[in-house]
Chains A and B, each alone.
Chain A
Amino acid sequence: MKAFQFNEKESQITDEKVFWNRRDFIQKAGIFVGSGLISANVLGQSENEEGTKQDKLIKQKKAQLLTNQISGKDLKSELTSEYAVTHHNNFYEFSLDKKEPSELAKNFNPDLSWQVKIGGEVEKSGIYTLEDILKRVSQEERIYRLRCVEAWSMVVPWYGFQLGHLIAALKPNSNARYVEFKTLHDSKQFPGQKRGTFGSFSLPWPYTEGLTIAEAMNPLTFMATGVYGKSLPGQNGAPLRLVVPWKYGFKSIKSIVAINFTKEQPVSTWNQRLPQEYGFYANVNPDVDHPRWSQASERRITNESFWGVKKIKTLMFNGYGDLVGNLYKGLDLKKNY
């Protein structure tokens, strides 16, 4: 399969139909690969287990449901409009406003030569270009819910690769308990990183995020290079961003230039800035309110029209509990928010 197109003009050549067909193929392939993986890893059941035909059918159906959750194909009818996805972005490196990043990112067009430094407790450390990385993984589309800690949400068609596949190729050693990510720190390209008169009210740069290795290896955890059939626009975190759909949006770090495998829990920028309000885990949880506002419901942005928002109940783990719930067994989610 051809690598994802980054040049704006080139991506216009790949017309939408071709893109969707390609995706359908990948989805079908994904189900085949995915169901084996899920029944083994996620459900924790051994393949040898004896069962009646009915049991097998139920198991198969469950696995099918989980594969659908991973690909997100059931969410296809709920997609948030492309305009809303690309014009409602919390990307403080550009601006504290949500609409301004779409204007300020016009000249931020990184290409395949974008460099990512991989280090820490890992065998294949070094500096990789995005091109190098994309050679080692296969890309596919995933439709995920995105729930912001500010209580708005979207459904986004990402394009990219499963982070676990990259990690497997990089071969972290047994000391690697966490994965740390960093956003580019360059105030020439990111005006929001300039220290102005009131600069102290922004964030400490570079933006840093982290996951446990188990979270990073979960089949849902995704690295996006594209959205809505196009390469990622600057405001959505071009050219490479994390997508962790069961966590609040701020965990899904944008424009990544470093991935480190660490022994110790990495810093999470928002946790560092306001530790009482934003935790390291930041799992979507309707029962644990933000100290200043409720997380029980959310404003689902379907499109940018005046009546394009609907209020819905927030789901535990943003609706991905079947796939990630086992990661937090025995963990007090009220304390580890």
Chain B
Amino acid sequence: MFPIQLLPHILSLLPLAWLIFAIFNQMLGADPQEKLMSDLGFWGMTILFVSLSMRPFSILSRYLSAFRRISWLKFRRPFGLYSAFYLFIHFICYLLFILQFDWGELTNEIIERPYITVGFIGLIGMIPLVLTSTKSMQRIMGRKWQKLHKLVFIIMGLSLIHFIWQSKSDLNLATGYVIWALALVLIRLANSKIIKSAEGTFRT
């Protein structure tokens, strides 16, 4: 049978493989550097959303016997790390192709351009999550780890704002992502309510 633990690796590496192929075959249009940068950011955000979809998947799998045996929650770590990987090369592409290592401009841009500020904060927020992603760190930090990793919801929000804000006016795709983000939050809230009310009935 297909080793399902490979799924996050394969899925996450597909966009990168496509981008590399597209660069060498001149399929990224007339400004390939810009396209590469924005696509990396887009996939970084998408993979982050996929990672955050694992909890809702496991919740919904309770009602779908076919998926119940898949341990969705184990996929969160690889997806999260791939997301950070894409977002870091997204940022490196920004430095390399857009700023061309003009450090003075970088400080200006981060202060003056709200969408860059927001994206930059989100990226910085990724760093502690990556550094504490190992099992041993999880064990050492205990309850604090859970709290720290709640940060990912803020990063999700920031990445969404960054995505919406940089566009000239095309919000078509962004609307889809807003709906996705809402679903991610609402399913979690609904689930915790169900659990709480279930606890309530046990007590009485």
Contact = CB atoms under 8 A, between A and B. Distances in A.
Interface of A: 83-84, 87-88, 96, 98-99, 149-150, 152, 198, 201-203, 273-274, 289, 292-294, 299, 301, 303-306, 308-309, 311
A96 B98 CA distance: 22
B30 A88 contact: yes
B33 A309 contact: yes
A96 B170 contact: yes
A304 B26 contact: yes
A301 B175 CA distance: 31
Contact of B171 (A201, A289, A299, A303): A201
Q: Which of B30, B33, B113, B165 has the most CB of A within 10 A?
A: B30
Contacts of B105: 294
A309 B97 CA distance: 9
A198 B169 contact: no
B172 A150 contact: no
B109 A294 contact: yes
Contact of B168 (A150, A289, A294): A150
B144 to A, nearest CB: 37
Contact of B29 (A88, A198, A202, A273): A88
Nearest to B172: A198
Given A87-B30, A152-B31, 10 more contacts: A87-B29, A202-B169, A273-B169, A292-B114, A293-B113, A301-B30, A301-B31, A304-B26, A306-B33, A308-B32
Given A273-B169, A294-B109, A305 B29 contact: no
Contact of A309 (B31, B170, B175): B31
A293 B34 CA distance: 15
Nearest to B173: A198
The A interface, classified by DSSP as helix, strand, loop or mixed, is loop
B192 interface: no
Interface string B1-41: 00000000000000000000001001001111110000000
B197 interface: no
A83 B30 contact: yes
B32 A304 contact: yes
Contact of A304 (B30, B171, B172): B30
Interface string B134-156: 00000000000000000000000
Nearest to B100: A311
Interface in B106-128: 108-109, 112-115
A274 to B, nearest CB: 7
A167 to B, nearest CB: 31
A98 B169 contact: no
11 contacts: A87-B30, A88-B30, A96-B172, A149-B168, A150-B168, A201-B171, A273-B169, A289-B112, A308-B32, A309-B31, A309-B34
B90 to A, nearest CB: 17
Contacts of A149: 168
B166 interface: yes
